[in-house]
Structure 1
Amino acid sequence: MARSKKVENEHTARSLSPAAPIVIAPEDREVIKVNNANVTELKNACDDAVKRYLSRPELFNQIHLHTDVRLGLGWTSVFVAGGTAFYGYKFDFKKSKPVVWMGLILYFFLTLVQSLYAYFIEGEIVYVGKRKTFSRRIMSERIMLTSRTIPAKASTPPCYNLSISYVRSASNGKSLLAKGKTQRVEDYNAFFDEEGNMDQERFEKWVGELVEEAMEGKQS
């Protein structure tokens, strides 16, 4: 029985693996060019490439919870600021003073919550995705990727550190079928040429291999 379950999991991991290359002609790709001297641009380009790669129809559906929360808090603070300014403009200073103070306090509170959420909850998360598949039974998969830049040292250039957590379950999450956690570090120079052009095909292959390892239940 245990062997049968193991064989099923291995078969499922292979059948759902994103590692199979999807050929995209160079002329069909949008050219991505960054400033090699700007580490933030390098990281953002890699993060965006991760999202495009994993959000393909045959792979995962991206969960936008963190983005939605930050946007919600941001827009709410904007409306509060606008409403407070309008109220202060329409009424005289003495009458509007309490409302303006409340508006200012609420605005700074929302801004603080947004910053704390981005730092402590969202953190280094780049992508969260999920999908449902069927292989003898309905399964749910969830994948989360985080990234960060490892600063340059005397003998090494700045590097891109990508970590992946993957869980596959059944019965609405009650039955754990597989989980994996992998990470890999690579020089930005491996994905960008001297002019800052990104080798998207090479980067996608690198990400695909790492995702496949996580889906196979590897820990690294």
Structure 2
Amino acid sequence: MEEIEAKPLSSLTEKSLQTEEASLEKEEPIIVNNSNLVELKNACDDYIQKLFVSKANFRQNNTHTDVKLVLGYLACGFALSGGYYGHKIPFNEAKEETIFVGEFEENDKKHTITIQTNTKRYSDIYNIIYEYIGNEKQNSSIKIRNAKYTLSKSFGNWFDVKGQMDTEKFERDLFEGLEIVKTGNKPHEQ
């Protein structure tokens, strides 16, 4: 019977490590724009993943990456449906100017107020549109009062030269508009 000479395992392991190191050394250098923080971070992140998988013998769990991919595809779907909606419905019809809808009840009266705001292009006039619906129960019937009022003033009435808002003046004007739309009467100036 012929004897086969046994080779030590350590030399095989050393050869495979040297081959891996040689293949890593032959890789192209990583070149990024060093004034772009995002590129620098992405290059480092990619290299960390590569290093831990190839040299540290970790097996990468891709669940986090899969979740990011699914969320990315969902975001693309929302963008696509938003683009389709924008194509079918003109922008000015689609944009909503309502900023507040509120309800208030007192003594069997239900008050609903809707406030919309807008400004015109190249104008410093701020328009506040109040829409009021008041339901009042009288015996077995309900009396409904609808009213609409627009308050239009320059931003200069509420902001100083430094850009600081005069909240007291703004609140006074807002409550004056609310009183007008609720009662139909302009309050007396003091």
When you count helix as a share of all residues, which structure comes out higher?
1
Larger radius of gyration: 2
| Higher RCO, 1 vs 2 (CA within 8 Å, ≥6 residues apart) | 1
TM-score, structure 2 normalization: 0.49
